[in-house]
Amino acid sequence: MLSKAPGGPETLVLEELPDPVAGPGQLLVQVKACSINYPDVLIIEDKYQFKPPRPFAPGGEIAGVVEAIGDGVSGWQVGDRVLGTVGNGGLSEKMAVPAAGMYRLPDERSFAEGAALILTYGTSIHALVDRGRLKPGQTLLVLGAAGGVGLAAIELGKAFGARVVAAVSSEEKAAAARQSGADEVVIYGRAPFDKEQSKALAEQFKAAVGKNGADVIYDPVGGDYAEPALRAIGWEGRYLVVGFPAGIPRLPLNLTLLKSCDVCGVFWGAFAARDPQANRAHVEQLFAFWREGKIAPRVTETFPFERGGEAIAKMAARGAIGKLVVEVSA
């Protein structure tokens, strides 16, 4: 499923291409499932940090079966079930991928679950541990809490012993947040907000997090939601900047002085590339939590391959609860 010119999901086209070949250090993977994430919305519009040369397939997270093994690769066999992140290219029946970036998919897990694990939970564990320094007993406020990264942040926050306040835009999304373990839920209105609405939302957040404020705020939304959330931060709190589907906010920096707080960028892809050893340790922790039942990727909708563009459109409209997965091949 190719992006041949910048544009929305309607510009994607299905085409036949020659089969890829596993080069040195690579595995040839038959892609069974590819999950959709917000970067897929941006990358086809040339709005993401990385702009691959066209034509390219979107899809940064896959699960599948090893078909062939390139030179210099050990520890893998044809037929092994794998999962991993690929940047882009996942909406393809076959991919040649670096073996170093693949992980074993446990036999008891489906391909859809496998495709839904690494990116959202990898982002969230890096955010909460490395950037947020979240500790047991602290209060975590999660915006956009019913999306893929939001639900992951709730589950990981609980796994690390935090009190978690989830902020969402509907009662349906509130139910999903509670099911994932949120201790309290705030339902906010749809932006844009005027000054009074912004102030009212800040009071909602403050009431939910408690008089000491939030120790960590996880914000994958941005826009008009950011400033009210920042007003609810506690002394020396950490505000985690994860994404901007509601727009890039402008924060009044006097608030950071008054609360002596940190505003921390979270760029998981760059972290994983710069420190692969630390990232692999995080992924091993995620697999342990998965085995223990402390986290569980929530795939709420699957799409056949030919309707992959619809999955990206639903993500763009912020209509997704949990993870959307495209079933690429049977």
Convert the pLDDT of each residue in 267-287 to its tens digit: 999 999 999 999 999 999 999
Task: Supply the pLDDT for residue 296.
Answer: 95
| Distance separating alpha carbons of residues 324 and 36, to the nearest angstrom | 6
Residue 49 is predicted with a pLDDT of 83
Task: Check whether 50 has a pLDDT greater than 90.
Answer: no
Alpha helix (H) residue ranges in 231-299: 254-259, 268-274, 276-292
Specify whether the CB–CB gap between 283 and 103 falls below 8 A: yes
Over 90: is that where the pLDDT of 92 sits? yes
> Cβ neighbours of residue 227 under 8 Å, at least 6 residues apart?
198, 202, 249, 251, 252, 255
Residues 121-175: tens digit of each pLDDT? 999 999 999 999 999 999 999 999 999 999 999 999 999 999 999 999 999 999 9
- Count Cβ atoms within 10 A of the Cβ of residue 255 and give its class: 0-12 exposed, 13-18 middle, 19 or more buried: middle
Q: Which two tokens stand for residue 101?
A: 């970036």
| Domain ranges for the chain | 9-117+297-327, 120-269
Per-residue pLDDT of 101-117, as tens digits, reads: 999 999 999 999 999 99
pLDDT at residue 324 is higher than 90: yes
Residue 236: band (very low, low, confident or very high) from pLDDT cuts 50, 70, 90: very high
Between CA 227 and CA 290 the distance in angstroms is: 34
pLDDT > 90? residue 320:
no
Mean pLDDT in residue range 188-192 = 92
Q: Which residue shows structure tokens 């036949």? A: 16
Average pLDDT over residues 20-44: 96
Distance separating alpha carbons of residues 330 and 327, to the nearest angstrom: 7
The β-bridge relationship of strands 81-85 and 61-69 is antiparallel
pLDDT at 120 (0 to 100): 95
319 pLDDT band, cuts 50/70/90, is: confident
- pTM of the entire predicted model: 0.93
Question: Which of 61-75, 109-123, 166-180, 315-329 shows the lowest per-residue confidence on average (mean pLDDT)?
Answer: 315-329
Fold match between domain 9-117+297-327 and domain 120-269: yes
Long-range contacts of 283-290 (CB under 8 A, 24+ apart): 283/103, 283/118, 283/122, 285/125, 286/117, 286/118, 286/121, 286/122, 286/125, 287/103, 287/106, 289/155, 289/156, 289/159, 290/106, 290/109, 290/117
Domain 120-269, second-level architecture: Alpha-Beta Complex (3.90)
Name residue 275's amino acid: D
Query: Has residue 74 got a pLDDT over 90?
Result: yes
Question: Superfamily for 9-117+297-327?
Answer: Medium-chain alcohol dehydrogenases, catalytic domain (3.90.180.10)
Quick one: what percent of the chain has pLDDT higher than 90? 95
Q: What is the mean pLDDT of the chain?
A: 96
Give me the pLDDT at residue 122, please.
97
Q: Are 283 and 118 in contact (CB under 8 A)?
A: yes
pLDDT per position as a tens digit, 253-272: 999 999 999 999 999 999 99
